[in-house]
Amino acid sequence: MFDQFGAKASEENIKRYERSENWKEARFMNLENTGMDINIKDIPKLLYKQFFEKNGRQPTKEIKIKAFNLEEFLKPSVEGKMIWFGHSVILLRINGLTILIDPMLGPDAAPISPFGIKRFSNNTLQILDELPEIDIVLLSHDHYDHLDLKSIKKLQHKTKLFHTALGVGRHLGRWGIESSKITEYDWWEYTNISGIDITFTPTRHFSGRGINDRAQGLWGGWNLKTATENIWFSGDSGYGRHFQEIGHRLGPFNFGFMECGQYVEKWKQIHMFPEECVQAARDAQVKNMMPVHWARFALSLHSWLDPVERFIDAAKDQKYCIPEPGEVFTIHSNKKVNWWKQYD
């Protein structure tokens, strides 16, 4: 169980973090004042609702994921290929590289809890066995629904490089990933690999896997830009002014994976409501988008369909697509078939 917590920040880690302008008062800070409107009296009620009141918060049956076709995925293509496996797990094939974002395919988003938060699909770790060699895994932050020990163990020997938010690398090191494979990023830091500019973008969120490591790692999103495509993964975030800055610096984007789910009024500064998600895409100059961070776990108190239904209402005048889990799509896709209705 203790492995689940990852690694505590060492003195050497802290010295590295102190060089970041986002490290203040012994922790990483958001660009604007951010918090959660929860006091200690709220916690028992919230925990009871989270673990025991499930009606409407999960589908009536297991959500199926389309079978992965290795040959089709690796076939050369002018356009990049993308697959969403639910929540925030994205697989991309661009410029001849296979890139996997936030590969949390484990069965439980609360593995340290006695009750757990179970996935809406079964046996998803097997998907990682079916995937080709991964050139780059991108990790946005260290929360359990994005950084999963079981998934990392599966990927350990089939991934060439791990690019992570500053502070996530220490967890990977504890779990057996070679330091030579790990590159950590502060906000706006970037690199170029095989013609892909990779930039770590700011979000309004937090981090931590245990009681005493809150904000001891950074959080963010990822931009992948080639000569012909500009793709942005927003990362977990409350609504804020950083979206306009991201669009100004790196946009416009051909496609955006927009965080849209696991919100509640008491923590709206760290997770967007669907209407805010759509506005954030407008702010960042996203031409085509899809909602992510939904359809896999009941991490908040809204119904499991609330994110997608409210997203559609808010985005009716904009281009978007909502592919089925496991389906291959591109930056030009515009699929709007209500596949989720069969699980309601």
CATH architecture of 62-343: 4-Layer Sandwich (3.60)
Question: Does the structure show a pLDDT above 90 at 282?
Answer: yes
Taking the mean position of all CA atoms in its chain, how far away is CA 25? 27
What confidence score (pLDDT) does residue 55 get? 79
User: Which of 196, 168, 171, 181 is closest to 92 using CA atoms?
Assistant: 196
What confidence score (pLDDT) does residue 272 get? 98
Calculate mean pLDDT across residues 303-332.
97
Domain boundaries, the chain: 62-343
For helices 274-283 and 306-314, the axis angle rounded to 10 degrees is 40
Q: Residues 331, 229: contact at Cβ < 8 Å?
A: yes
Q: What is the pLDDT of residues 197-206, one digit of tens each?
A: 999 999 999 9
Calculate mean pLDDT across residues 225-245.
98
- Give the up-direction half-sphere exposure of residue 323: CA atoms within 13 A in the CB hemisphere: 22
Q: pTM here?
A: 0.96
Q: Residues 149, 4: contact at Cβ < 8 Å?
A: yes
User: Which of 51, 156, 134, 149 is closest to 104 using CA atoms?
Assistant: 149
What confidence score (pLDDT) does residue 337 get? 86
Lowest mean pLDDT among 38-42, 56-60, 78-82, 197-201: 38-42
What confidence score (pLDDT) does residue 54 get? 74
What confidence score (pLDDT) does residue 2 get? 85
Q: Which residues make Cβ contacts (< 8 Å) with residue 202, sequence separation at least 6?
A: 31, 187, 188, 220, 221, 242, 245, 246
